[in-house]
């Protein structure tokens, strides 16, 4: 991605890498899809060239006119991520693009030094990984295991950075841009002390990024092995969730049969009642760490347009921080009650 501040038009890109290119020498990352889903994906990915050019050019013109100093990449392949994520609604795609850069600038603890080698301890812990098989609808399954995190080893922002880099890698695939992803979060062993690190301020930031600041379609969030404390965590999260996203949360507890109704056992590891072998984090870790060159760009110096009002940006500054501080005062009693 370019950090240039001008809006010079770039020549059309050859497009994003296919799954085969994204996951070299990893045949187990390929899943057989039903003929109907293959046809659906191909239809969306193979938009008529003149339509694709028109849509990308329209968004590019809007960026240059309304946010000339945004400093964003203007390649076709990059802009298409935002158009697809907002179903080719130009205004919403533009706002998503602005939010994307606003998020990067507003949280330096996460977005400075944004490269896989910087979060190697997180990857080695197994906190976040991607299952090797796609689900029947062609979606990657991102597996998050908070119990693998030891707060004394590194701050929670390192976990968030690892999740963000994982999404950045996945979104390089056009198929993922179209089909979206599924999240599987295993809360086994999450204690009150760990939950206290995920306060309202962090929750609002993370949800803001996933809902309004990143070009990816989150189709489902499956929560398993959630302890009683999760009621308090979800009470903190829910006010920040849009209704559509909130309806995509599924709490399964320890009922693996319930989980299997959403994610078939054939793609799940044995740890979750599946038949895909033991959960192996090494393949995804190797892939992400081998992508260092993709993340060498420094986004910390991005300049947001000076003529933008706070309402145009995802982050609204001191007011949000005060609101989160107020919420924080009531958080611990609520967590203790649920615990």
The pairing of beta strand 140-144 with beta strand 128-130: antiparallel
Asked whether the predicted pLDDT for residue 308 surpasses 70, the reply is no
pLDDT attached to residue 10: 40
Asked whether the predicted pLDDT for residue 99 surpasses 90, the reply is yes
Residues 67 and 308: beta-carbon distance below 8 Å: yes
How does pLDDT run across 213-242, given as a tens digit for each residue? 999 999 999 999 988 877 777 877 888 899
Task: Give me Rg for the CA atoms of the chain.
Answer: 20
pLDDT attached to residue 56: 93
pLDDT attached to residue 36: 56
Asked whether the predicted pLDDT for residue 304 surpasses 60, the reply is no
CATH number at residue 329: 3.40.525.10
Number of compact structural domains in the chain = 1
- Alpha-carbon distance of 127 to 162, in angstroms, equals 9
Handedness of CA 169, 175, 178, 181 (dihedral sign): negative
pLDDT attached to residue 297: 53
Share of the chain above pLDDT 70, in %: 72
Residues 173 and 19: beta-carbon distance below 8 Å: yes
The pairing of beta strand 249-253 with beta strand 218-224: parallel
Where residue 85 falls among pLDDT bands split at 50, 70, 90? Answer: very high
Average pLDDT of the residues of the chain:
78
Q: What is the pTM of this model?
A: 0.77
How does pLDDT run across 106-159, given as a tens digit for each residue? 999 899 888 999 999 999 999 999 999 999 999 999 999 999 999 989 999 999
Q: Which residues contact 184 (CB under 8 A, 6 or more apart)?
A: 131, 141, 142, 143, 144, 222, 224, 259, 263, 272
Asked whether the predicted pLDDT for residue 173 surpasses 60, the reply is yes
Domain range for 323: 1-339
Mean pLDDT calculated for residue range 200-224: 92
pLDDT attached to residue 202: 86
Cross-strand partners of 224: 186, 253
């Amino acid at each position: 991605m370019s950090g240039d501040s001008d809006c010079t038009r770039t020549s059309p890109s050859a497009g994003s890498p296919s799954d085969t290119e994204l996951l070299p020498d990893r045949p187990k990352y390929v899943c057989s899809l039903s003929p109907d889903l293959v046809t659906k994906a191909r239809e969306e990915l193979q938009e008529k060239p003149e339509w694709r050019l028109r849509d990308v050019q329209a968004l590019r013109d809007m960026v240059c006119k309304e946010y000339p100093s945004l400093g964003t990449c203007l390649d076709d392949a990059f802009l298409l991520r935002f158009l697809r994520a907002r179903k080719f609604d130009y205004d919403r795609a533009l706002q998503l693009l602005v939010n994307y850069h606003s998020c990067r600038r507003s949280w330096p603890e996460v977005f400075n030094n944004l490269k896989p080698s910087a979060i190697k301890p997180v990857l080695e812990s197994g906190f976040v990984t991607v299952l090797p098989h796609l689900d029947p609808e062609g979606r990657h399954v991102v597996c998050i295991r908070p119990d693998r995190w030891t707060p004394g080893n590194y701050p929670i922002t390192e976990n968030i950075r690892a999740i963000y880099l994982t999404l950045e890698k996945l979104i390089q695939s056009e198929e993922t841009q179209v089909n979206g992803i599924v999240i599987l979060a295993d809360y086994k062993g999450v204690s009150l002390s760990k939950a206290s690190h995920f306060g309202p301020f962090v929750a609002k930031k993370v949800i803001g990024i996933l809902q309004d600041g990143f070009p990816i379609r989150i189709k489902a969030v499956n929560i398993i092995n959630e302890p009683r404390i999760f009621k308090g965590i979800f009470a903190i999260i829910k006010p920040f969730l849009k209704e559509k996203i909130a309806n995509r949360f599924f709490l399964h507890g320890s009922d693996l049969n319930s989980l299997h109704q959403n994610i078939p056992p054939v793609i799940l590891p044995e740890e979750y009642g599946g038949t895909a072998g033991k959960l192996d984090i090494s393949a995804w870790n190797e892939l992400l760490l081998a992508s260092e060159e993709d993340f060498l760009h420094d986004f910390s110096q991005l300049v947001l347009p000076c003529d933008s009002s706070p309402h145009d940006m995802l982050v609204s500054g001191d007011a949000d921080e005060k609101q989160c501080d107020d919420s924080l005062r009531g958080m611990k009693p609520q967590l203790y009650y649920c615990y």
